[in-house]
Structure 1
Amino acid sequence: MKILEVNNLKKVYTTRFGGNHVQALTNISFSVEEGEYVAIMGESGSGKTTLLNIIASLDKPTSGDVILGGKNIVSIKEREISIFRRENLGFVFQDFNLLDTFSLQDNIFLPLVLSGKTHEEMNRKLTPIAQHLGISQILKKYPYEVSGGQKQRAAVARALITNPKLILADEPTGALDSHAADGLLKLFNDINDHGQTILMVTHSVKAASHAKRVLFIKDGEVFHQLYRGAMQKEEMYQKISDTLITIATGGGQYE
């Protein structure tokens, strides 16, 4: 079942005085099935961050539709968008976006607090997630007291606790050392194996090689896509690298 549909998405930015137009997205269409793990790659300026922001309902397209769980988020009224976002999307950011004045537990609880959940219900939801992510023993600590990998695990817990239809990850390994990055990617594979749908924007070939499908964005359009299928991560890594070289050297559209 399709959980996300992006149809004919176009985004044009106008400069402050209206003199210049910058086309960030030209005509993007793709869909994501429930339970998929999709990575989006592309050079800086290719439009992938704009695309993620629109899917996250943080920006509006110039034209086109984004349908999440059967609802077109482009047409949701401004006063309702934050509630829709909180109930349907989970976010994992490169810089964690944790509040230093809150414990890890309180950071994780935040979307549930905003939804008016009781403390008992929040604890009930957190216990299995914290055990799964291996952070039960550090929940009372503050972000500045734990490692980058532990911060990112807390951020993943915050994304999962609302049971979102889709997790959006923006360069989730970007601020981690190689060991912590490996741990996070293994964790993403694990939660995806348990049915969580993930859409990740990344520059990392290693991170993308863990996904089941990779979309390549070039000049505001989908240039190519790779399905992992039966490929091992090493073979997928090489295929992704080859595609990025083709993009960087100005190769033509794949068939």
Structure 2
Amino acid sequence: MPLLDVKNVEKIYTTRFGGQKVRALKDVSFTVDEGEYISIMGESGSGKTTLLNILAALDKPTKGEVLLEGQSIVSIKEKNIAEFRRNNLGFVFQDFNLLDTFSAEDNIYLPLVLARKNYQEMSRKLTPIAEKLGISGILKKYPYELSGGQKQRVAIARALITDPKLILADEPTGALDSRASEQLLSLFSKVNGEGQTILMVTHSIQAASKAGRVLFIKDGQVFHQIYRGDMSNDQMYQKISTALTALATGGGNRA
């Protein structure tokens, strides 16, 4: 059984003015196995953010089903959604989403505090994560004292500390310079190598080239995908670049 199973998902919005219907997603189906590292790419307006919001249980599809380890995300009651996210999903955002009045340590602890874990347990879980991410020395600092790369490492630690089944990353390198981006992607590869499943939405070919599989969304559909196989990062980069060019000019084959 796959870790994540997306079945025939469709999302239709009704515009606020005029009542017109807009189909953001159409018949999207794919699976994610445990331990996979997948990038989702597509032009602005292609539907990738809508898809991510549905996978994050932040939105519900008009039709279709999303299963995480066989459990339907779509049918979770509203009162239980926050707990479901906290127990199963980790999030890494482009703008970090850190609380400025909390230290880095307290930002990382937040999901465990909401889950009512005791301090000793939180501290025990943080120590190895902080060492792995190289942030042990900045845990007492506040976000305004940190660089973009350090903030994103703190955000990754916050995502990892709950032992999530799936990490969802939304343009995680978007606010970083090239050096910090490369460091972040190296960390993603490292935690994925230890078994963490990652699903990342990105516009960056460089970021996508680190993944094991790339899904291309076009006009609300999974239009094409690339598997790494035995390709190097450079070969993966070239393959993705060629696919994006083909999709932008109307070429490519529907997945």
Determine if the TM-score, normalized by the shorter chain, exceeds 0.5: yes
Does residue 10 in structure 1 map to residue 10 in structure 2? yes
Alpha-carbon deviation of 1:16?
A: 1.9
- For residues 122 and 22 of structure 1, what CA distance do their matches in structure 2 show? 44
Tell me the residue number matched to 1:195: 195
Partner in structure 1 of residue 172 of structure 2: 172
C-alpha deviations, 1:195-250, integer Å up to 9, x for none?
A: 00000000000000000000000001110100001000000000000000011111
Deviations 1:61-83 (A, max 9, x none): 00100101210000000000100
Distance 1:81 1:167, change over 3 A: same
| TM-score normalized by the length of structure 2 | 0.98
> Structure 2: how far apart are the matches of 1:3 and 1:17?
39
Which whole-Å deviations, capped at 9, do the CAs of 1:56-113 have from their partners, x for residues lacking one? 0000100100101210000000000100010000000000000000000000000000
User: CA contact under 8 A between 2:222 and 2:254: conserved in structure 1?
Assistant: no
- Structure 1 residue 113 corresponds to structure 2 residue 113: yes
The Cα shift of 1:252 comes to 4.5
**Alignment partners' CA distance in 1, 2:59 and 2:146:** 33
Aligned partner of 2:131 in structure 1 is 131
Determine helix, strand or coil for the equivalent of 2:3.
strand
- Aligned equivalents of 2:252, 2:118: Cα separation in 1: 55
Q: CA separation in 1, counterparts of 2:47 and 2:35?
A: 25
Structure 1 residues 11-46: Cα deviation after superposition (integer angstroms, max 9, x where no partner)? 000012562011000110000000000000000000
CA deviation after TM superposition for structure 1 residue 253, in Å: 2.3
Q: CA 1:237/1:252 → structure 2, altered by over 3 Å: closer, same or farther?
A: closer
**One-letter code aligned to 2:98:** L
Question: SS of the counterpart of 1:231?
Answer: coil
Match of 1:84 in 2: 84
Indicate the larger mover: 16-25 or 64-73.
16-25
Q: Distance in 2 between matches of 1:112 and 1:157?
A: 12
Q: Following the alignment from structure 2 to structure 1, what is the Cα–Cα distance between the partners of residues 19 and 129?
A: 50
Deviations along 1:134-189, whole A, 9 cap, x unmatched? 00010000000011000000000000000000000000000000000000000000
Partner of 2:102: 102
Identity %: 71
Give 1:87's aligned amino acid.
Answer: N
| Paired AA for residue 245 in structure 2 | I
* Worse-superposed segment, 14-23 or 49-58: 14-23
**Contact 2:149/2:181, CA 8 A, preserved across alignment:** yes
Q: Which runs of 4+ in 1 moved over 4 A?
A: none
Question: Which one-letter code corresponds to 1:142 in the other structure?
Answer: Y
Q: Which runs of 5+ in 2 are unaligned?
A: none
